[in-house]
Structure 1
Amino acid sequence: MNQSELFLVLPSEEYKDKILEFKEEFCKSGDTLYGTENLQSMSNIEEWLLKVHNNQREETVEPGKAPSYEFMAIRECDGKLIGMINVRYNLKKEMYLYYGNIGYCVRKSERKKGYAAEMLRLALFEARKIGLDKVLLTVDSDNLASIATMKKNGAILENEVPYNGKITHRYWIKC
């Protein structure tokens, strides 16, 4: 994959149809939309866009959540929405232990093509822009694809913790 093939952009009304189509693919496949500010449960795109916008600032973020920036990964050659990646800052205690600074997903039809690693690489630049010098990423111990994606971007395993009946790996990456 060409590294300039993807770019990150904040969600907006301009991308409404692409977001709906992205969500639909996940719903049909039964996959979870990780790192998307709960897109799967939103019935109204305008409501989701407002939530994404409000969650960017500490003073307007949802109670109990860390402020975050939601990005869409768009393929340059055809404008297709490939995945979403969320960069969180000022983590709350549970998020620090089990969720980390970054969550992401790639649509099923575009997996195993290197997009997740490129999305994460681009998100590290965004994390640096908001003042983070390193980020925490967490993953279930059996999610080998995500672990490989993180390691491609320099992730170092800090520890493993039990969470929801599974083992969660906690990785750090310098921005």
Structure 2
Amino acid sequence: MSASETETLLLVSPDIFHRREYTDMMGEWLRDGGPIIPSALVSGSLTYDEWLNRERKFESEDTCPRGMVPSNLYFLTRASDGKIVGAASVRWRLNKELLHNGGHIGYGIRPSERGKGYGTRQLRLILDKCRERKMEKVLITCLKENFPSQKIVLKNGGVLENTVTTSQGETFCRYWVEL
């Protein structure tokens, strides 16, 4: 049994009090050089407060930017030390683009915490959020060569429907999880 299986993990909405942890996590991700997933984590030139305000707009149909779908971003935190070990974004409905590639859920674990079982537990907690919203099934996509993510989805009941290739030449696996 890995340490992550016995640790208490919490899904929390980003808050002003997460500024330092967020900055540490993003610095680590940038040094790693890999993609930052979910992309909602990327603040660009925004300050933390501006980024947080932007993310909160996505939470309601009334304030969600035009052409986007309502979503919530969650940090996966370790209860013992408050460290943000990952993040997930849940889109509560799909548009045409998300149905093709993107899906309902995007998730990632910060580089230093990968390989410890956090991804599997994070997705399980996110799927519980989807059940609370009475969703019947969710679509999760990942790059065809992202074997760790595929393993996480499969451990959480994902069933591969097909693969799709984007106009940029990237091939994604499309998994459905029945809730």
Superposed counterparts of 1:123-138, under 5 Å: 123-138=126-141
* Counterpart for residue 175 of structure 2: 171
Which amino acid in the other structure matches residue 166 of structure 1? E
Gaps of 5+ in 1: none
Percent identity between the aligned chains?
A: 33
Post-superposition shift, 1:43? Answer: 2.9
Q: CA RMSD in A?
A: 1.4
**Deviation sequence 1:8-33 (CA, Å, 0-9, x none):** 00000011111111111111111222
**Deviation sequence 1:28-55 (CA, Å, 0-9, x none):** 1112221141424243111111111110
* Counterpart for residue 98 of structure 1: 101
Asked if residue 6 in structure 1 is aligned to residue 6 in structure 2, the reply is no
Normalised by the length of structure 2, the TM-score is: 0.92
Q: Secondary structure at the match of 1:31?
A: coil
CA distance in 2, matches of 1:88, 1:5: 25
Aligned residues: 175
**Which range moves more in the overlay, 105-114 or 29-38?**
29-38
**C-alpha contact 1:34 1:104 (8 A) present in aligned 2:** yes
Normalised by the length of structure 1, the TM-score is: 0.94
* Counterpart for residue 25 of structure 1: 28
* Counterpart for residue 108 of structure 1: 111
* Counterpart for residue 79 of structure 1: 82
Post-superposition shift, 1:79? Answer: 1.1
CA distance in 1, matches of 2:6, 2:101: 30
Q: Secondary structure at the match of 2:172?
A: strand
Q: Secondary structure at the match of 1:91?
A: coil
Q: Secondary structure at the match of 1:170?
A: strand
Gaps of 5+ in 2: none
Q: Secondary structure at the match of 1:72?
A: strand
